[in-house]
Chain A
Amino acid sequence: MTVALEMSGITKRFPGVVALNDVNFTAHAGEVHALCGENGAGKSTLMKVLSGLYPSGTFEGTIRIFGEEKHFHGIKDAEKAGIAIIYQELALVKGLTIGENLFLGQEPARYGVIDWERVYHESSRWLADVGLSDVSPEQIVGNLGIGKQQLVEIAKALSKNAKILILDEPTAALTEQEVEILLGFLREFKKRGVACIYISHKLNEVFEIADKVTVLRDGRTIGTYPISEVTEDQVISLMVGRELKERYPRKEATPGDVVLRVRDYSVMNPEIPGKKVIDNVSFEVRKGEILGIAGLMGAGRTELAMSLFGAYAGASQGTVEVEGVPVQIRRPEDAIKLGIAYVSEDRKKYGLVLGMDVKSNVTLASLRSLFSLGLLEQNKEIASGEHYIRSLRIKANSVETVVGTLSGGNQQKVVLGKWLLTKPKLLILDEPTRGIDVGAKFEIYNIMNELVREGVAVVMISSELPELLGMSHRVMVISEGRLTGVFDAKQATQETIMRAATGGNANERE
């Protein structure tokens, strides 16, 4: 088999972080090569290097396509070399037709006038190639299901004569049936000599389709193995095999009464009718404990949290009880009144008004309770702001510092302060330490401990397994919307969690 792609010695630095460290990756024509690793291991960065999104010169190392060294200065260069990427989030223009999408940016034209006959004629050929011969190329893409949109993406890759096809979590939004169709096409492409790079968290799919697997961890290549020579368990331990370097100041739990009890809870996907993002989940959280929620990206953890907080667009079913009383939470106001606080994973989008100062952000969720007459008392507000600047050690010049100018860790503390001011009984933290430095992380752990000591129930969603195991008392694992296990954090290992997160145990499969 000929070597289609050879990336060697790739090192990519971001300010303060080495995202890729001397990574080597080789893919052959006619094989499906899986790329595995935890969230943040460097898979996406590597593919961005390959696709020209990070242009030549912003990283070290060489890229060879079919033996020839290439320097990509943009996505166009990579496309010309035969590289096509299908992203997690589809990159189609939903309001245009299939044909318009397939030829976007390279419309066949004479004197600037598009030859529509040719567009639609050729489009239908490409569609037939991906088994969509019954779909008209004049259909609007947005009207197709996600599965078919994915196939249109693949048709687009084919139309560009891709020799190297990269699929980044292609099945995240697909139903099982659609996954089967997709995998069928990958086998077909293999026969045609296309090199497919398959990035997926779902190890069962990887083992079904891939010929080889390369594992990345913390920006380094751990190794490349023929799929027949490794087991799922081995791949998992290669993925997580790092030592527990950071210390976690966990305190012993003294679980009290149940604060939140969730039974048979399901959440619908607001965009795909009939698909559930959370499927029949039941759990409870007690006073004075930290419940960790593990799961891979797209497992539905954030959707679960947002839905419980009344902030998710999809409808929900099932019962929710707060301190033994059944409740209906329709809007965030309802949740706040019941003593539930939700610190979002995306603080810039959902947490902060970046143009406002520290004190205004801190009081934003408590305006009604702090100022009952609707009149802002400036001094009371400044006092609240200063209280959290001191107790959370926010490094800000004053309460009137605009939060957009603070560092990530300090912004996160402002969001925390905002929710602590609402005096919550249940605090849901969604990736509370994402993108902040080690020192600030440790401080946030200490704050969590302090809250637990005060009797607050804490739910922590995190993609960092060591953090989950180190800080929580119990860990609940969600995989593709289903609850696949609840573990005592002291007994669980990263491997058991990862196994549950990648779709349950091996016994269930044939």
Chain B
Amino acid sequence: MNANEQIVMKEPASRSWSRWIKFDARAYTMIGALLSIWVLFTLLNDRFLSATNLSNLFLQMSVTSILAIGMVLVIVAGHIDLSVGAVVGFTGGVAAILNIWYDWPTIPVIVATIALGVAIGFVQGWIVAYGAVPAFIVTLGGMLVYRGLLLGTTGSVTISPFSPAMRTLGASYVADMIGWVLGGIALACTAIYYWRKRGARRKYGFPVEPAPLSLMRVVLVGIFVLGFVFVMNSYKGIPVPFVMVIVLALIFTFISKNTTFGRQIYAIGGNAEAARLSGINIRRKTMYVFVLCSALAAIAGLVLAARLNAATMNAGNMYELDAIAACVIGGTSLMGGAGTIVGAIIGSLVMASLDNGMSLMGIPTWWQYIVKGVILVLAVYLDINIRNRKKVI
């Protein structure tokens, strides 16, 4: 207690490191779980940690990750979106129609597809926020409508193949050199971020963490980033969809942590009445959350269609459940008010690792379903019971 109280007081940079390292039990448990899954699969099959397979793994998790980013916001605001899977299918179908049947070039196709996602989000968000219909119902209805629209517009046939430019969206790799450059930029940004943070804290007279600790953080990030680039480059390079995941995750982490909009979403999910009495326009913000979620679903739809090089009838089927599972495994509370983008990404990595590892071992599909289901429930069970224990103490 005493050590913590001192944080409130002004004092120059302190020698003690321990106070600067926050122990987030949940985050460590999540990463620990992921690593143990990886170790387990590596022991069972040494191909699991090969560059080829890891590259595949990151490619596979991309679509779910993009969906999970939007889903986190929706769940944090206290709602749910069951329609994202169908939106993935529908928007992918529309992109295929525009690109293949009407020969639209890549950029207009991307813009039109995302615009379609935004429009879908506006409609659903409006009904939830202003029409006061539960999101579960609105998006369940939406799921049926968009699946139906997909079948109707495409005439229930698989549309293929995309133009080569479109395909880069889902199935290409960043060249080795560019991979290194991206890694370098990421590292430089991290260093600049810590540097500026120290400066800003000094300006406000807050204590600043010891310089060697900041340096250590940057070095750790560096090892992680450059190691990742190295492994990916030893196969074909970083998959383009995964670069998109990283960029989107950064953007949305920024939105959730550093904008008033993000703060308001968490406040609405945490206590809608208190948020309302604090002058927050709950309805409008809720609608925007659905817009963002559907727009991300449209991006996921583009990536999936480009990766498969086709728009198929059952594209995105049940993806909403993968996205929700990823969020929940990543520590998002279905009660609203709590959850992080990073958690959801790790959650989808857990789900993708299970899929990938079990397929690699040739475990039959029916077993895979059972294992994933059990893991989902187990993760939430542990999370809730760890949290409850904290409350008692």
Q: Which residues of A contact B (CB under 8 A)?
A: 309, 311, 331-333, 335-336, 342, 344, 349-356, 360, 363-365, 367-368, 371, 374-376, 378-380, 382-383, 386, 389-390, 397-399, 418
Q: Name the A residues within 8 Å of B1 (CB-CB).
A: 397
Closest Cβ–Cβ distance, residue B130 to chain A (whole Å): 14
The complex places the Cα of A345 from the Cα of B201 at a distance, in Å, of 37
Whole-angstrom distance between the Cβ of A467 and the nearest chain B Cβ: 24
A353/B258 in contact, CB under 8 A: no
**B337 nearest in chain A by CB position:** A355
- The residues of B that contact A375 with a CB separation of less than 8 Å are 258-260
B8 in the interface (beta carbon within 8 A): yes
For the complex, give the distance between the alpha carbons of A332 and B278 in Å.
7
- CB-nearest residue of chain B relative to A376? B258
- Return the contact of A350 from the options B8, B266, B273, B281 (Cβ within 8 A): B273
Q: Does B267 contact A (CB under 8 A)?
A: yes
Question: What are 5 A-B interface contacts by the 8 Å CB criterion?
Answer: A354-B271, A364-B274, A376-B260, A378-B258, A389-B8
Report whether A355 and B273 are in contact in the complex, using a CB–CB cutoff of 8 Å. Answer: no
**Assembled-state Cα–Cα distance A349/B272 (Å):** 9
Docked-complex contact A336 and B337, CB < 8 angstroms: no
Query: Once bound together, how far apart are the Cα atoms of A349 and B279, in whole Å?
Result: 15
Within the assembled complex, what's the spacing in Å between the Cα atoms of A351 and B278?
A: 8
When distances are taken between beta carbons in the complex, the residues of chain A under 8 Å from B266 are 353, 356, 360
Nearest 7 A/B pairs, CB to CB: A353-B270, A365-B278, A397-B4, A367-B260, A333-B279, A336-B279, A364-B278
Q: A365-B278, A374-B261, A376-B258 are in contact. Are A356 and B270 (CB under 8 A)?
A: yes
Contact assessment for A353 and B271 in the assembled complex, using a CB-CB cutoff below 8 Å: yes
Q: Mark B368-392, 1 if CB is under 8 A from A, else 0.
A: 0000000000000000000000000
Min C-beta distance of B274 to chain A, whole Å? 6
A464 to chain B, nearest CB (A): 23
Residues in chain B near residue A352, CB distance under 8 A = 271, 274
Within 8 A of A (CB), among B250-301: 257-264, 266-267, 270-271, 273-281
**Contact of A371 (CB < 8 Å), options: B201, B260, B275:** B260
**Which residues of B lie under 8 Å from residue A367 when comparing CB positions?**
260, 263-264, 280
Most buried by A among B200, B204, B273, B278: B278
Output the least CB separation between A401 and chain B (Å): 8
**B46 an interface residue at 8 Å Cβ cutoff?**
no
Is B338 in contact with chain A by the CB < 8 A criterion? Answer: yes
Chain B neighbourhood of A376, CB < 8 A? 257-260, 262-263
Contact among A332, A349, A368, A379 with B260 in the assembled complex (CB-CB below 8 Å): A368
Q: Is B194 positioned at the interface, with any CB of A under 8 Å from its CB?
A: no
Chain B residue total in the interface (Cβ 8 A): 33
B38 at the interface (CB under 8 A from A): no
Interface digits, B197-208 against A, CB 8 Å rule (1 contact, 0 not)?
Answer: 000110110100
- Residues of B within 8 Å of A335, CB to CB, are 279
Q: A344-B277, A367-B263, A376-B263 are in contact. List 6 more A-B contacts (CB 8 A).
A: A332-B277, A353-B271, A360-B267, A376-B259, A382-B206, A397-B8
* Bound CA–CA A363/B275 (angstroms): 11
Q: How far is the CA of A332 from the CA of B272 in the complex (A)?
A: 13
Q: Which residues of B contact A374 (CB under 8 A)?
A: 259-261
Q: Separation in Å of the B76 CB from the closest CB of chain A?
A: 11
Q: How far is the CB of B27 from chain A (nearest CB, A)?
A: 16
Which B residues form the contact surface with A (CB < 8 A)? 1, 4-5, 7-8, 200-201, 203-204, 206, 257-264, 266-267, 270-271, 273-281, 337-338
Find out whether the CB atom of B204 lies under 8 angstroms from the CB atom of A418.
no
| CB-based nearest A residue for B22 | A400
CA distance A344 to B276 in the complex (A): 12
Instruction: Kindly report which residue of chain B lies nearest to residue A363, judged by CB atoms.
Output: B263
> Which of A331, A364, A383 is the one whose CB lies under 8 Å from B275?
A364
Question: In the assembled complex, which residues on chain B have CB atoms less than 8 Å from the CB atom of A418?
Answer: 278
- A353 to B274, Cβ gap below 8 A? yes
A355 touches B338 (CB 8 A): yes
Closest beta carbon of chain B to A461's beta carbon, Å: 15
CA distance A360 to B8 in the complex (A): 16
Q: Is the CB of A350 within 8 A of B277?
A: yes
Answer whether A356 and B259 are a contact pair too, CB < 8 Å, given A350-B273, A397-B4.
no
Which residues of the partner chain A approach B5 to less than 8 Å between Cβ atoms?
Answer: 397-398
Minimum distance in angstroms from B10 CB to a CB of chain A = 9
User: Out of A311, A368, A399, which one reaches B276, CB within 8 Å?
Assistant: A311
Compute how far the CA of A356 lies from the CA of B260 in the bound complex, rounded to whole angstroms: 14
How many angstroms between the C-alpha atoms of A374 and B254 in the bound complex? 12
Contact B257 A379 (CB under 8 A): no
Q: Which of B1, B276, B281 has the most CB of A within 10 A?
A: B276
User: Would you call B267 and A379 a contact (CB within 8 A)?
Assistant: no
CB neighbours of B262 from chain A (8 A): 376
- Chain A positions within 8 Å of B281 at CB level: 331, 333
Looking at the assembled complex, report how far the CB atom of A397 sits from the nearest CB atom of chain B, in whole angstroms: 4
Query: Which one of A356, A380, A398 has the greatest number of beta carbons of chain B within 10 Å?
Result: A356
Q: Chain B: which residue is nearest A398 at the CB level?
A: B7
Question: In the complex, A363 Cα to B270 Cα: how many Å?
Answer: 15
The interface residues of chain A lying within 8 Å CB-to-CB of B7 are: 397-398
Given A374-B260, A376-B259, does the pair A365, B279 have CB atoms closer than 8 Å?
A: yes
Chain B residues near A333 (CB-CB < 8 A): 279-281
- Alpha-carbon distance A332/B275, docked complex (angstroms): 10
Q: How far is the CB of A329 from chain B (nearest CB, A)?
A: 11
Shortest Cβ distance from A305 into chain B, in angstroms?
Answer: 11
| Bound-complex Cα distance A321 to B33 (A) | 60
B337: chain A residues at CB < 8 Å are 353, 355-356
Q: For the complex, what is the distance from the CA of A355 to the CA of B277, rounded to whole Å?
A: 17
Report A-chain residues with C-beta under 8 Å of the C-beta of B274: 349-353, 364
Cβ-closest chain A residue relative to B333: A355
Give chain A residues whose Cβ lies under 8 Å from the Cβ of B338.
355
Residues of A within 8 A of B271 (CB): 349, 352-354
